[in-house]
Chains A and B, each alone.
Chain A
Amino acid sequence: MIGASRCILAEMLGRTLVLLLLSAGPISAQVGAIEGTVKLPPREPSKAGSTLTYPGQPERVEPAPKTPLPAVVFVKNGSDGRTFSPPRQPPRLVQRGAMFIPEVMAVAVGTTVEFPNLDDQYHNVFSYSKPKRFDLGRYPTGESRPVTFDKPGVVKIYCEIHEHMRAWVVVCENPFFAVTDEAGKFRIENVPAGKHKLVLWRTNGRETEKEIEIVAGQAATVDFE
């Protein structure tokens, strides 16, 4: 009990520190937000669920989500030479129901992501993408392996065993990014005021750039067709 409460305490402390860090400094007063909607194409019917099954071991495959694949919107070159600390608590990209959840993730450079296997079968997470090549090997349920993304770019994540398992990790240069929700809505907070290039990245690899100007204390609205 005592250990657990200590953990919670530490986490709370960490979060407060991050917030303090982000809000601290000369920019803190000169920030605005970006919000908008991305028109997401409907998801193509995929073969998810009809993957290889091993005899005598029925796979518990969740039906492929009907929702469209989300997109990532991020501010390009918005760091102006500053460095950002990665989040204390590493984000988790779990394997469950023979799917990666979430399918699309955005992280800032230097972030470590945990890949826990929550299925009762083996998975083998790997990527050949240039920003981060890794192969976590096969590991059983309950186990988790970390990957630190130290270069910006898009990292395509595969499972060596399951054909349909796909995920994308967009590694951004700064923490000014957002993953759209099912409806395509996004909001990026604390963007320094000024002119920026806003980039929309879709899972099909296409990127759309837009020039935006952030006025301090205001929320700029950017919609993508």
Chain B
Amino acid sequence: MKLRSFQLKLLLVLVGTVALLTGLTLLIVTNTIRYQIIRKTAADVLAADRTFQRQQALRFLKLDDICSRLAGSRRLAAALEEGDPEVLSGVAQNEQEISKLSHTLLVIADKSGKTLVPAGDTAAEKLVASAILNQSDWRTGFFVRGDQLFEGVCRPLRTGNERLGYVVVAFPLGDSTATKLAQALGSDSMPGNTPLVHVGFLVNERIVASTLRRPSRGRVESVLRQRPEGEFVDVEIDDTPYVAFASQAGWGVARVLLFSQEPLRDLLAELRFTAILIGAVAMVICLGVTTRLAKGIARPVAELENGARQIRQGNLAVRVEPRTSDEIGRLAEAFNEMAEGLQLKEKYRGVLDKVVSPEVAEELLRGKIDLGGQLRTVTVLFCDIRGFTRLTEGMAPHDVLDLLNRHMTAMTEIVRQHGGIVDKFAGDEIMAVFGAPKPGPNDALAAIRAAQAMMAARQRLNAAAPHERQLDIGIGINTGEAVAGNMGSDKQLSYTVLGKTVNLASRLCKSARPGQVLASASTMRAAGTGVTASSLEAIAVKGFSDAIDVFEIR
């Protein structure tokens, strides 16, 4: 479960990061591209509008080519001068046939601007009026005749300097014109494809002559009506987004351009797809990496957990194999070191328990007892087997050691029971210390009681094995100040006490007869009442100038 949740967390973080980065990249790229393409579209539309104007100018020039020829026609001038409408229409028709202008509208007006041919048709009179007002040699413009938009050129017909009338040559602007224009603007009208460019002419808010299909025109008209001229407007045609633009061409006619935004939409979709694809691939990689990583962390963690459990159960020999050199690996190493340390401590504890009482060992291990050199008041007890060397003469070494060890074990046990520590064994002699490293409530008394117990124990042991060599012990006890601490070389240390107090105890032990326990006056003082003892003669002790008062413990 823990493994799973850890893996899940890691996965969530990584996947979240990838998704966030992908999303951000997508957003930035999309916005940048959109902005750039909008700018490009605007430039394209304006360039297309200029092309549109140039195409218009070219068509006007083409019209003027015909118009100027007709304006120079003597027949038209003669007919106009004659003033006979029949003749004039006949001549006009003839001119139209000669010039093969079957789709061209030819209008003849008199010098006041009144249309003579075609009779009663006033559509072009505005253009003629403009030519009259401007006194110009040629005038271009648009006019609507019926439902049809025309582009026309007007020139005066003269004889000499006199203006006889005006001739207008006009082309109808139809959907085919718009198609040609769109082609000139580079729109590929491939079947099935939505065209890149739509063009049209706007007259009285209505779109005439356009590449737009009739049902689409209404929407463009209403969209253009709502927006001021010269601004870009978005409009949707056949589910394709377009940008629409209208600019005045004069005579109440506006050029309309629509540019498809589909390439932008396609490009953005492609980008989005690519970004999402990259994101998806990154996520799959993430998933793999996460799983591996989680496993790589979880397995050693599980092993460590198992190791910890075993240690709790007491198996200090457990070790975890460090698989990697990273933090996890170092953790495993640290675990192993810890286990090793625990094991070593346990081993020391075992040794210590053999040397001191478990309580003292515990105190020592906890570090509560200062093992540095200290002046302490201690009670030192020496216990010696009388005549041991003589007794063991002729005995097998093994039997000697066995005998000695049994004695020492029993004595050591008694010392411990009474809160002392066995400082050292020197041959058949035991040195025990009470009050160091840990002072007891009454160390002197404890030492006296221990001595009595040791005597009793020796007697019991002797009685229990009557056929064996009978051992007699002598005990000396002294209380006083001594230096306590670890002594020895830096390689080997032992906790011991040093000083006159120790020496006096040893001397007292030497002075004791078999079965006798000798205690100094200081010990008796320290032990207080409750001890049955008899005062002996003061004895002179080697190394001490004064005679020492000695008590024999009963």
Contacts and interface: CB of A to CB of B under 8 A. Distances in A.
Given A52-B72, A160-B75, A163-B74, A46 B87 contact: no
Contact of A128 (B91, B160, B161): B91
Looking at chain B's contact residues, the main secondary structure is helix
A128 B161 CA distance: 21
B152 to A, nearest CB: 23
A181 B417 CA distance: 180
Contacts of B473: none
Nearest to B73: A160
Interface in B56-77: 72, 74-75, 77
A129 B80 CA distance: 11
A133 B79 CA distance: 11
A47 B159 CA distance: 9
B84 interface: yes
A156 B82 contact: yes
B78 interface: yes
A160 to B, nearest CB: 5
A130 B82 CA distance: 8
Given A128-B91, A129-B82, A158 B77 contact: yes
A126 interface: yes
Nearest to A47: B160
A47 B162 CA distance: 11
A138 B248 CA distance: 47
A111 B160 CA distance: 29
A172 to B, nearest CB: 20
Nearest to A161: B74
B84 A128 contact: yes
A35 B207 CA distance: 72
B81 interface: yes
Contact of A44 (B78, B82, B161): B161
A90 B158 CA distance: 33
Interface in A162-196: 162-164, 166
Nearest to B80: A128
Contacts of A160: 74-75
Interface in A104-158: 126-130, 133, 156, 158
A159 interface: yes
A160 B77 CA distance: 10
Contacts of B161: 44, 46-47
B160 A46 contact: yes
B397 to A, nearest CB: 153
Contacts of B75: 126, 128, 158, 160
B313 to A, nearest CB: 121
B78 A128 contact: yes
A158 B91 contact: no
Given A156-B78, A156-B82, A158-B78, A128 B72 contact: no
Given A52-B72, A158-B74, A44 B160 contact: yes
Contacts of A161: 74
A161 B74 CA distance: 7
B160 A130 contact: no
Nearest to A164: B160
B111 to A, nearest CB: 15
Contacts of A130: 82, 84
Contacts of B78: 126-128, 156, 158
Closest 4 CB pairs of A and B: A128-B82, A46-B160, A158-B78, A158-B74
Given A129-B82, A160-B75, 4 more contacts: A44-B160, A44-B161, A160-B74, A163-B159
14 contacts: A46-B160, A47-B161, A127-B78, A128-B75, A128-B82, A128-B84, A128-B91, A130-B82, A130-B84, A156-B78, A156-B81, A158-B74, A159-B74, A160-B75
Interface of B: 72, 74-75, 77-79, 81-82, 84, 87, 91, 159-161
